[in-house]
Structure 1
């Protein structure tokens, strides 16, 4: 009998809603147990089952409809609970792997993706595949993994330098990830210091250094690490503070490399720390304040008020060369390669040095006032001067190629990525130049005082001024994206990466900002009397500040904890489980002293902006 022949009065009516929501089906639901039924009841059920199996589809539907019409709400709720699990099917059980993985790539929330691995073994296998986590890495701007060979020498750069010259390899590069899989403790060793080397830690026992475990080679493990680092930057991290000098000293330059933290002061001393912040040696040789320096591997080039340019071996603390020729303070220094350094001086000249042989290759003459800043890209060096001009020079030929005119006052900061030049001036403006023809492409207005901090990265420019503001500009439109009221006084330090901006000010505060949203993420450390310099890399930040009339160094680590389970690519990530929650809990102890990890990226900055006398 077909369903179309059923009289209307026999069709099932809509069942009444159950008085309470039916409970969710559980794995423990079973076929009803008839063991307690009487003998005649069991026989009747068998007969009904046999008759039902012999009916066609239409007859079965009619019988079911009649039976359901006879049921009360509690019986209908039982039918609902019994039937619902039978109608639910896991699509991942039937769909091919390619489609299942494609579906998982649309999950934007890492916690949801991680929890989905607990649904079933099938889901666990799918979530363990790298495709979904690769998509999440891209959505969160964690760069994709790369199989490119690793260059053995880390490159130390200025924050304003182009990413192509930067050792900042991004969160997903193997140069960063290869340090993540094993952890080992090794006793710190040191050679006998040079007679002119003093250690502030001489009386302290050698502290074991912690090496990062080897890198995971899956997007899944990589995403978890980057997620934990970002979480630490936003609300955690470990900080260790130490007094740099017993006397008050102005920090004029600060650099962070894979092996060293190097600090220059206006008292003629250069302090060298390992990457954990343990003092190794003090370089003494300058007789007046050190105002510029730049490291390259284990070589350091420094210059200061005594007009000398000195070459040091950071490993031994020995001076290699003393280069003389400038007739006034050496105000800025950069290196174009491991053999060539360029210095700018208040004597209005730049000099190109061969640091291996210890000789001057070229004297670049053209500026009419002090050379305040310079930046290098390839064979070109761009210098900014108090004569209101910037000049483009050829390093190999030792001659001026172009003069950039347009500013109305002294130039204090410069950035150059090979495609564009940005200059910041006392006239409150920032100008963008084309290095190929010297044409001014844009004038960025907005600051109300000296623009002394610049960093350029791709199509983004970030500037800081003595008006306390930080501005984020698009170099595609030459318009301001964000205007940040960052500090109550001058911005003394500024650096940004793909995710964040870190600014330090003479108001004694260090602030972390979200680059894309332009919002304040947190303040790093407690307020000080003044912040001299801040440098950051992906998992570390170093802050030089004046606190309690003392020069203090704070080393912040944002590295994830070393747990072998986190780096097994064969097991799924469990971000919402105990590993992640334990890590979040550990970040609450952010201000307690803790040990530090070595770092694989380097970023450094320009000298602090101060008045020239």
Structure 2
């Protein structure tokens, strides 16, 4: 189109060089002027034909004028032109004035230029021209950079085998998912709960939700089919207060003082570990990780904390070797490793990394243990009331503890010294959560606080007009958001700004437990009808 327009301009210039004016018949047959002659013969008057005959002389005279006079004449002509004529002139001028600098650059420089653009700018730039689109959509490094820059997961399997188009689609998928979280766009799926009983622990993945409750049972739900009957693991003689699974192995602790190990797929208890003399209040499966160049611990462990003041350590059994009856660990137990004694009141919370274990107790202390040697390394004093929660920070060699004394303490794992005392809450600090950048504390004072994990500075208090109306009963967070529950519902906050975003669940009597992954949030709620689960699927969102 542009070449044709330029050709027409050249033709008009050549015609305008004629010294003699054409006769009327020549003018009307000349293709140059046919577009200028009205299509309706009623409008072709002698005056119109006479004006057309003068055009070559006018064009010749225009060419010989100084540029400033040419500009003045053009302004006068344009001011006297109708809208359709102006649009036609614009269609001729704009392509001539446009200059795509990217076309003339070497390919390497093109990539450097687009390397400075964010995703919105890239999307805009890709619509400028076909060349821009091909460069932007054809470069793998551009989309890898955006994935890393925006904190998105790299695709599996090895992203090195994926094309630029596949990486772009993966980025698009991740971006839409992020926007769904931000805008509160999700599909709500409901599951039957534990009737009127309290849900005390919960874990889920792509295939299942596993929950423990005060009714002494463990329920397993199929996340792919909420209408399918759930499986129920029975065997405990009292409420289940703690559970965790790793692959096909589930470990649970109960008021009945036992620790049970289950094969999830076969729905069968394979081991019963005895030894505690009171409720098993907390447990953790400790997976081997690389620390100082070696795997610590050398094999997966089960660590349990009890109201009998003690901590017990077992080797994680192989549940694939299923027998008719479970192994009952009375007397000699080949999986038992250590009995850790040192607290003088119930052990309320534990956290482990490698061979380092941290425990918090109702004796107001925090202890650090060596899981390889089975001994206490440090006993930290400072809290003036029960310790309810502990977390471990292996990156900074620190641990944190929350207490009924309303304070959060930060301790050095190596020396046992107190590094910071974080004040601000006005009631029990019952829950702590830690990510690389943020420490979050939740309190019975109805607020959550976001702290800088490195400095201990309080960045945000999650409260206010849209805040919770009761004690915080559960929460989870990552580097983007905090999701917290209490009487009334479940709320989401922006962890970077402290801003309330929206309610995920509302008008309920209580929220017992919450967990989330990249695309889903699972919450246990209590209503007048009893307890139930809701799975909020941000990936399955479908606009109405």
Equivalent runs, 1:60-209 vs 2, <5 Å: 62-71=65-74, 73-75=76-78, 81=90, 82-108=92-118, 110=120, 112-128=121-137, 129-142=139-152, 171-172=153-154, 174=156
C-alpha spacing 1:547/1:177, structure 2 compared with 1 (3 Å): farther
Tell me, which stretches of 5 or more residues in structure 2 are unaligned?
Answer: 10-30, 37-48, 288-298, 318-332
Residues 342-391 of structure 1: CA deviation (Å, up to 9, x unaligned)? 11111101001123276321111110000001011001111110001111
Q: 1:437 aligns with which of 401, 406, 415?
A: 415
Q: 2:355 maps to which residue?
A: 379
Aligned counterparts of 1:368 and 1:554: Cα–Cα separation in 2: 40
Aligned counterparts of 1:550 and 1:286: Cα–Cα separation in 2: 22
Residues 78-117 of structure 1: CA deviation (Å, up to 9, x unaligned)? 697344431221112222333333333444352x532433
- Post-superposition offset of 1:521: 1.5
- Post-superposition offset of 1:70: 4.2
C-alpha spacing 1:457/1:71, structure 2 compared with 1 (3 Å): closer
- Post-superposition offset of 1:425: 0.4
Equivalent runs, 1:418-437 vs 2, <5 Å: 418=394, 419-437=397-415
Q: 1:263 aligns with which of 199, 211, 218?
A: 211
Let me know the Cα RMSD of the aligned residues: 3.2
Residues 212-246 of structure 1: CA deviation (Å, up to 9, x unaligned)? xx99974422221111111211221111112223x
Q: 2:484 aligns with which of 503, 507, 513?
A: 503
Residues 115-153 of structure 1: CA deviation (Å, up to 9, x unaligned)? 4333321122022134444444344333xxxxxxxxxxx
Question: Do residues 228 (structure 1) and 238 (structure 2) align?
Answer: no
Equivalent runs, 1:209-608 vs 2, <5 Å: 218-233=166-181, 234-245=183-194, 247-276=195-224, 277=226, 278-337=228-287, 339-356=300-317, 359-418=335-394, 419-485=397-463, 486-505=467-486, 507-559=487-539, 586-587=542-543, 589=544
Q: 2:321 maps to which residue?
A: none
Aligned counterparts of 1:40 and 1:294: Cα–Cα separation in 2: 93
C-alpha spacing 1:448/1:27, structure 2 compared with 1 (3 Å): farther
Aligned counterparts of 2:433 and 2:158: Cα–Cα separation in 1: 23
Residues 444-488 of structure 1: CA deviation (Å, up to 9, x unaligned)? 001111111111111310111111101100122211001011411
Q: Which has the larger radius of gyration?
A: 2
Give me the TM-score of the superposition, normalised by structure 2: 0.78
C-alpha spacing 1:45/1:232, structure 2 compared with 1 (3 Å): same
- Post-superposition offset of 1:305: 0.7
Query: Aligned pairs, how many?
Result: 467
Aligned counterparts of 1:436 and 1:294: Cα–Cα separation in 2: 28
Q: Specify the SS of the correspondent of 2:506.
A: coil
C-alpha spacing 1:380/1:72, structure 2 compared with 1 (3 Å): closer
Give me the TM-score of the superposition, normalised by structure 1: 0.70
Q: Specify the SS of the correspondent of 2:488.
A: coil
Aligned counterparts of 1:520 and 1:176: Cα–Cα separation in 2: 37
Aligned counterparts of 1:91 and 1:372: Cα–Cα separation in 2: 66
Q: Specify the SS of the correspondent of 1:491.
A: coil
Contact 2:237 2:256 in 1 (8 A): yes
Higher relative contact order (CA 8 A, sep 6+): 1
- Post-superposition offset of 1:259: 3.5
C-alpha spacing 1:287/1:388, structure 2 compared with 1 (3 Å): same
Tell me, which stretches of 5 or more residues in structure 1 are unaligned?
Answer: 1-24, 53-59, 143-170, 182-213, 562-585, 590-613
C-alpha spacing 1:27/1:350, structure 2 compared with 1 (3 Å): farther
